[in-house]
Amino acid sequence: MSTAELKIDLINQITAIKDKVRLKELLQLIKFQEESSVYITSDDEKQAVLKARNEIQNGEVSSDADVQKEIREWLKK
């Protein structure tokens, strides 16, 4: 597929999107790809990072093996 065809396909798919949140996310992704753009962290994201850092400091972590086991068990339901 040529670059022009990819652009047309992308434009058509974007035009079909009705969900404003999804459009905002797509725009943010495109802007993120620009070298000069800076990702703006939301308050919720900042709180999630802070919570995760605190959990790590307090040893409240799971091994990859435990997480993979939990996922497999969850998927069986």
Show the tokens assigned to 21.
Answer: 């949140």
Q: What is the DSSP string of 38-72?
A: -PPPPHHHHHHHHHHHHHHHTT----HHHHHHHHH
* pLDDT in the model for residue 21: 94
pLDDT tens digits, one per residue of 7-40: 999 999 999 999 999 999 998 888 877 766 577 8
Verdict on whether the full-model pTM lies above 0.75: no
Task: Quote the CA–CA distance of 30 and 26 in Å, as a whole number.
Answer: 6
